[in-house]
Amino acid sequence: MRLKGKTAIITGASSGIGAATARLFAREGAALVLGARRKLLLDDLVDEITAMGGTAAAVCGDVCDSGFGEELAETAIRYFGRLDIAFNNAGILRMEPNSTSITPEVWRETIETNLTGAFFCARRQIPLMLSQGGSIIFTSSFVGHGVGLPGMTAYAASKAGLIGMAQCLAAEYGAQNIRVNALLPGGTRTDMAGDFSDDPDAAEMIASLHALKRMAEPEEIARSALFLASDEASFVTGSAMFVDGGNAITKL
Ligand SMILES: NC(=O)c1ccc[n+]([C@@H]2O[C@H](COP(=O)([O-])OP(=O)(O)OC[C@H]3O[C@@H](n4cnc5c(N)ncnc54)[C@H](OP(=O)(O)O)[C@@H]3O)[C@@H](O)[C@H]2O)c1
């Protein structure tokens, strides 16, 4: 068990990559604090993890609310007495036909959820890791780092911002053994990618962007989050780690 005795916060845990990571971290022995807005899904996941012998608590809320990061951190301390790992993974994608049609509301919602929300969480997690070290992971994307796609400017800006943020935090807190990394998934079969994976033509087009000619399953991304969270990545910090099936290097 690679995470035995550790406590982890996972945001965006109600579905997709976050839920898959919660199941995997629980199997690896971590006690979990799971955050998202959809309470029923979170409660079901807590029940599932409890039934398999794991330990988890749900905190329902919105990462755009600056108090939510505090609530997640307080729950980790109140229930489990420590915080070792944070997977700041909550995110949204609002597709627009082109970038000039992105409204101020969509721009702000995207940046606030994907970038500011992750920072609000991290600023409450770091103080809890100062004494014993820890691992913070931000879910970025292949979009915005090596790949640009039409209509995804706000999303790309938010995801590129996470990489810069990870690098600065890694430099600032490395001496306290807090490792901070960005994880860059390729196209992954989750609710977010539903429009692409449900339509066979779109699914084929997205698959073709990857050298492996398919999208990822959320569990494949979860396994990389586990690597970054675990001591196996003890010398990995400040990195932007592609887990993208060769998307970034595929031009045809
Ligand atoms: N799927 C892909 O192809 C892909 C590729 C690269 C990167 N990513 C990134 O991977 C991460 C996870 O996405 P996914 O693919 O697993 O999609 P997903 O199934 O739609 O998961 C998104 C998660 O974020 C949560 N979330 C969204 N807005 C939130 C908010 N304001 N406050 C709290 N939680 C919020 C959602 O929960 P609630 O709705 O319950 O709040 C959900 O649990 C995202 O950051 C996404 O950008 C995905």
Task: State which residues form the domain around 192.
Answer: 7-243
DSSP state of 169: H
Q: pLDDT value at position 248?
A: 94
Specify the amino acid at residue 163.
I
Six token digits for residue 210: 């990857």
Contacts of 210 (CB under 8 A, 6+ apart): 186, 187, 244, 245, 246, 247, 250
Q: Is 90 in the pocket of ligand 1 (CB under 6 A)?
A: yes
Among residues 177, 73, 173, 168, the alpha carbon closest in space to that of 128 is found at: 73
* Ligand 1 nearest atom to the CA of residue 18, by list position: 16
Six token digits for residue 175: 């001496």
Q: Which of 12-16, 156-160, 164-168, 247-251 has the lowest mean pLDDT?
A: 247-251
Q: pLDDT value at position 198?
A: 76
**Is pLDDT above 90 for 102?**
yes
Alpha helices in the chain (DSSP H): 16-27, 39-51, 66-75, 104-111, 117-129, 153-173, 194-198, 200-208, 218-229
Q: Is 149 in the pocket of ligand 1 (CB under 6 A)?
A: no
Contacts of 155 (CB under 8 A, 6+ apart): 93, 94, 110, 114, 141, 143, 144
Q: pLDDT value at position 251?
A: 86
Q: pLDDT value at position 171?
A: 98
**Residue 91 resides in a domain:** yes
Six token digits for residue 56: 């988890």
Contacts of 68 (CB under 8 A, 6+ apart): 35, 59, 61, 62, 117, 120, 121
Mean pLDDT of 132-138: 98
**Residue 248 resides in a domain:** no
Q: Cα angle at 10 between 223 and 193, to 5 degrees?
A: 65
Mean pLDDT of 164-170: 98
Q: Whose CA is nearest to atom 10 of ligand 1?
A: 139
Q: pLDDT value at position 237?
A: 98
- Distance separating alpha carbons of residues 147 and 206, to the nearest angstrom: 13
- Distance separating alpha carbons of residues 250 and 37, to the nearest angstrom: 35
Q: Is 111 in the pocket of ligand 1 (CB under 6 A)?
A: no
CA of 9 relative to ligand 1 center, distance in Å: 15
**Residue 143 resides in a domain:** yes
173 tagged catalytic: no
**Residue 249 resides in a domain:** no
Among residues 191, 189, 221, 220, the alpha carbon closest in space to that of 206 is found at: 189
Among residues 113, 105, 21, the alpha carbon closest in space to that of 63 is found at: 113
With the most atoms of ligand 1 within 8 angstroms of its CB, the residue from 32, 38, 162, 188 to mutate is: 188
Q: In the predicted model, what is the mean pLDDT of the chain?
A: 96
CA of 175 relative to ligand 1 center, distance in Å: 31
Task: For residue 176, count other CB atoms closer than 10 A to its CB.
Answer: 13
Q: Is 116 in the pocket of ligand 1 (CB under 6 A)?
A: no
Each residue's pLDDT tens digit, 173-202: 999 999 999 999 999 999 998 867 778 888
**Residue 184 resides in a domain:** yes
How many structural domains are present in the chain?
A: 1
**Residue 183 resides in a domain:** yes
With the most atoms of ligand 1 within 8 angstroms of its CB, the residue from 34, 142, 190, 198 to mutate is: 190
Q: pLDDT value at position 176?
A: 98
Q: Is 16 in the pocket of ligand 1 (CB under 6 A)?
A: yes
**Residue 208 resides in a domain:** yes
Q: Is 44 in the pocket of ligand 1 (CB under 6 A)?
A: no
Question: What's the CATH code of the domain at 230?
Answer: 3.40.50.720
Each residue's pLDDT tens digit, 32-89: 999 999 999 999 999 999 999 999 999 999 999 999 999 999 999 999 999 999 999 9
